Amino acid sequence: MARRSEHTREQLRDLMLEAAEQLIVDKGLAGLSARAIARQIGYTPGTIYLVFANLDELILHVNARTLDRLRVPMQAAVAATDDPEQQLLGAARAYADFARSHPNLWRACFEHRLPEDVAGPDFIDARIAQLVELIMAPLARVSGAEGAALDAAAQSLWSGVHGVCILTLTGKLHMVGGQATEHLTDDLVTHYLAGLVMRAAPADAR
Amino acid sequence: MARRSEHTREQLRDLMLEAAEQLIVDKGLAGLSARAIARQIGYTPGTIYLVFANLDELILHVNARTLDRLRVPMQAAVAATDDPEQQLLGAARAYADFARSHPNLWRACFEHRLPEDVAGPDFIDARIAQLVELIMAPLARVSGAEGAALDAAAQSLWSGVHGVCILTLTGKLHMVGGQATEHLTDDLVTHYLAGLVMRAAPADAR
């Protein structure tokens, strides 16, 4: 408890986010409580509510950091090649790798629920939109899709890869483990893109 | 508490499963505890452990019932037409409809986690295999895929639809709500199948 009151509000905020992040890494979202965070940083639970409105807000800020970290390898994968199909495969693999190497943090982004009557905050929506936008340009180039069709393609492709990650991570697919995730991610992206390209092509070019 | 000791073990088991199911429907998996189930049925929490090894085992049996119910509309969709693409679209829509109309029960099947060192039971694996097998025959017919490629196709298609369901259900996609789920499910299945068919066709037939 020696550190009590030694920190500015900004420092406290960082300490709390780091402690919460480590608790989620170790035990998952279910292992998180204001009491556990407070114990980690040597403050009373009440201190948390001087910095965050409630535990949900704190978790959302941890999730925002996770989404920022997830974007980095996806951006790198898109920057690594000029071939739009390879950009999409690379981004999907980067997403799956991140999910596998940070399973609890990744799941926290998607399993955390706010009360039914509370809308998700803009800073989370904006980060998810950034992820979806990352794959928009290569999807447009590879398929010629635009507007609502491009939007739907980006969202269903992301959802598809997300589904592969969640079901392999939680052991629900019988080909479990890392190999299965990469294999199924590639299978899904490759076939989806081939179908999108074929359907988008004018009939006489098929 | 009047019902105490009035039930056989088999009746108790059913009562506990029904109470647990209702608690999950109302509050999600996080709202479930032995105490809450016991209160519902008018027994002490200890009685639960005379019937089930632990709360995890009870939850797994609720999930088995959910998976059995989920299979019914999917089977009906496959039986409703002889066109394999329509069978797959129908099964995917039935899956998405079930997820939307029973969100907490459906999520419990996939979010429930056993301790790391405990393998999932065969009765869950078998039910998941049944769902995947449902789409195997139409997938084989539509694409000519077989063996490991057919297996991968069934798993990535299911995972993809699952991902659409989980992200629309949890409000992570900006086109939220039921419309988005059906639209994205159709988009994913249609493009994936078109790609699978194209890639499976001999090169000179493309």
Does pLDDT of B206 surpass 70? no
Whole-angstrom distance, CA of residue A85 vs CA of residue A194: 10
Give the ipTM of the model, two decimals please: 0.86
Mean pLDDT of chain B: 89
Burial of A141 (0-12, 13-18, 19+ CB in 10 A): middle
- Say which of B156, B174, B185 has its CB closest to residue A129: B174
What is the per-residue pLDDT for B174? 63
- Say which of A162, A173, A180 has its CB closest to residue B163: A162
pLDDT in tens, A40-52: 999 999 999 999 9
What is the per-residue pLDDT for A164? 93
Does pLDDT of A4 surpass 60? no
CATH topology (fold) of A1-52: Arc Repressor Mutant, subunit A (1.10.10)
What is the per-residue pLDDT for B2? 46
CB B90 within 8 A of CB B193: no
Per the model's pLDDT, the better-predicted residue between B20 and A129 turns out to be: B20
CB B55 within 8 A of CB B62: no
What is the per-residue pLDDT for B200? 75
Contacts of A174 in chain B (CB under 8 A): 125, 128-129, 155
Contacts of B198 in chain A (CB under 8 A): 194-195, 198
What is the per-residue pLDDT for B179? 66
Tell me the mean pLDDT in the region A135-149: 92
What is the per-residue pLDDT for B39? 95
Domain coordinates in residue numbering, chain B: 1-52, 61-201
SS3 B114: coil
Range with lowest mean pLDDT among A94-103, A137-146, B165-174, B180-189 = B165-174
What is the per-residue pLDDT for A37? 97
pLDDT in tens, B144-193: 999 888 989 999 999 999 999 998 888 777 654 456 888 899 999 999 99
* Closest chain B residue to the Cα of A113, Cα to Cα: B170
Instruction: Report the gap between the CA of B188 and the closest CA in chain A (Å).
Output: 6
Tell me the mean pLDDT in the region B5-20: 92
Mark out the alpha helices in B28-144 (DSSP H runs): 34-41, 45-51, 55-79, 84-101, 103-111, 122-143
Could you give the percent of chain B with pLDDT greater than 90?
A: 70
pLDDT in tens, B99-141: 999 999 999 998 887 877 788 889 998 999 899 999 999 999 9
What is the per-residue pLDDT for B171? 79
In CATH, the architecture of A64-205 is Orthogonal Bundle (1.10)
At B1, the pLDDT band (50, 70, 90 cuts) reads: very low
Mutation target to probe the A interface, by most A beta carbons within 10 A, among B192, B196, B199, B206 is B192
What is the per-residue pLDDT for A116? 73
CA atoms within 13 A on the CB side of B103: 17
Mutation target to probe the B interface, by most B beta carbons within 10 A, among A187, A189, A190, A193 is A187
Range with lowest mean pLDDT among A21-35, A129-143, B169-183 = B169-183
CATH 1.10.357.10 fits B61-201, yes or no: yes
Contacts of A185 in chain B (CB under 8 A): 156
